[in-house]
Amino acid sequence: MQIKALGGFMERRGGELRLALRTTLAGLATFALAELLQLPQGYWAVLTSVIIMQGSVGGSLKAGIDRLIGSFAGAIWGVAVTLAIPHHGIPALGLALVVALGPLALVSALKPSFRIAPVTAIIVLLSTSSLQADPVPYAVDRVLEIGLGCIVGLAVSLLILPGRAARLLAEAAAVVLRGFAELVELLLRDLATPLDRSAILAIHRRLRRAMARVETLAGEAKHERANRLSDAPDPEPVLRNLRRLNHDLTAVGRAVMTAMPAQGRQHLAEPMNALRHAIVGFLTEAAEGFAAAKPPPSLVPVDAALAALGAAVTAMRQSGALREQSGEVVAQIYGLTFALQQLRENLGDLAERVAERAMPARGAEKESVEA
């Protein structure tokens, strides 16, 4: 039983376990190289290789480049300030610290990729002051050590169970789509009662966290594509589509926030129920398609249910039932149908994104069959 539970944990947390393994190997390999090269403070290299290790190759690449650039800029500025401003007393050292820190803090605020630069400048200034050491060799050693950590970290990220941002992005997008399906189920389940606001807010909180992860991974996937480490599709359309779907569901939520009167919903309950099942089913299958690189599900059930809803609204208008409703109810009905039509347009775009994700897998399958 314990073995089965352990196997389940490893399956659920495979990404985290692979990251832990890569981080451990990167730290160990960097330590060995630092000792072999007899670096004066090899722990900087070890720390760097651990710090830049991310869940994906693209994330590690960005973290490594940012740390290397920031360290180089900070080392140069730290050496310049150390040589230019005498700082033998506490007031003079405080002045030198302000000069070293202020400009780099501004640069790092404007460009986050330089956020390590102020730290490096402070280390060069304060360490050489306390040790009475020559700042130039000290700064060169720190840059070399950090460079070694970046190189080893990137090599391990590329060669040891590499996590590709495109695959992680697909899995994260699947989580968002499952959240959308859960939201649709809650929004369209019952037009007779007001929505459970606490349940809606809980789903939106989870969706915000999931969308933040998608945005992070989309940026990492762009880095992989820009550096020719991946031939996966451009992640930007996926991110844009998920944002639009989220906006559509927000519009649907506003339309059904209040309960619909019985005379209005009796005409719409059946087609709305069919549409709910169709959209939830499509989103669930699309999530599976993203995660497993499968072809997209069919939109025929969604189109049929949406057409039935439109026919029901038309029948209400022709029979005079719509004129019997208050202006608020009429606005609610038309607002809901418009929001659902917009949702359908973006579900079509989602189907294209799922198909893009599945195309490399089909191509690989075809090559294996021909071989």
pLDDT at res. 366 = 37
Nearest to 143 by CA among 113, 121, 110, 114: 121
Alpha carbon separation from 66 to 59, 75, 334 (Å, rounded): 11, 14, 51
CATH code of the domain covering residue 326: 1.20.58
Last residue of a domain, one of 99, 130, 159: 159
Indicate if 91 and 214 belong to the same structural domain.
no
Statement to judge: residues 177 and 292 lie in one domain: yes
Residue 173 has a CB neighbour count (10 Å cut-off) of 29
* Domain containing residue 68: 2-159
Residues 93 and 148 in one domain: yes
* CA terminus-to-terminus distance, the chain: 42
Q: What crossing angle do the helices spanning 135-159 and 14-36 adopt, rounded to 10°? A: 140
What would the mean pLDDT of 231-237 be, rounded to a whole number?
88
Q: Are residues 174 and 138 in the same domain?
A: no
pLDDT digits (tens, 9 = 90+) for 104-115: 999 998 988 888
pLDDT for residue 347 is more than 90: yes
In the structure encoding, which two tokens stand for residue 159, read together? 């060669």
* Cα distance between residue 236 and residue 208, in whole Å: 18
The residue out of 132, 159, 186 marking a domain boundary is 159
Alpha-carbon gap, residue 254 to 276, rounded angstroms: 16
Query: CA-to-CA distance for 371 and 369, rounded, in angstroms?
Result: 5
How many other CB atoms sit within 10 Å of the CB of residue 61? 24
Residue 206 sits in the same domain as residue 335: yes
Residue 8 has pLDDT above 70, yes or no: no
| Residue 170 and residue 114 share a domain | no
| Total domain count, the chain | 2
- Say whether both 210 and 358 belong to one domain: yes
CA distance 22 to 187: 43
Contacts of 14 (CB under 8 A, 6+ apart): none
pLDDT tens for each residue of 145-186: 999 999 999 899 888 877 788 888 999 999 999 999 999 999
Question: What is the spatial distance between Cα 188 and Cα 325, in angstroms, rounded to a whole number?
Answer: 20
The whole-angstrom separation of Cα 309 and Cα 299 is 15
Tens digits of residue pLDDT in 27-51: 999 999 999 999 888 888 999 999 9
**Same structural domain, 189 and 292:** yes
135 and 31 inside one domain: yes
Radius of gyration of the chain (CA): 28
Same domain, 21 and 118: yes
Same domain, 244 and 352: yes
pLDDT in tens, 139-148: 888 889 999 9
The mean of the pLDDT values for the chain is 85
Closest C-alpha among 152, 126, 153 to residue 139: 126
pLDDT tens per residue across span 247-274: 999 999 988 887 777 766 677 888 999 9
**Side chain identity at residue 152, one-letter code:** V
The string of pLDDT tens digits covering residues 279-338 is: 999 999 999 998 888 999 999 999 999 999 999 888 888 877 777 777 777 888 888 899
8 Å CB contact between 309 and 337 = yes
Question: Please, are residues 19 and 55 in contact by the beta-carbon 8 Å criterion?
Answer: yes
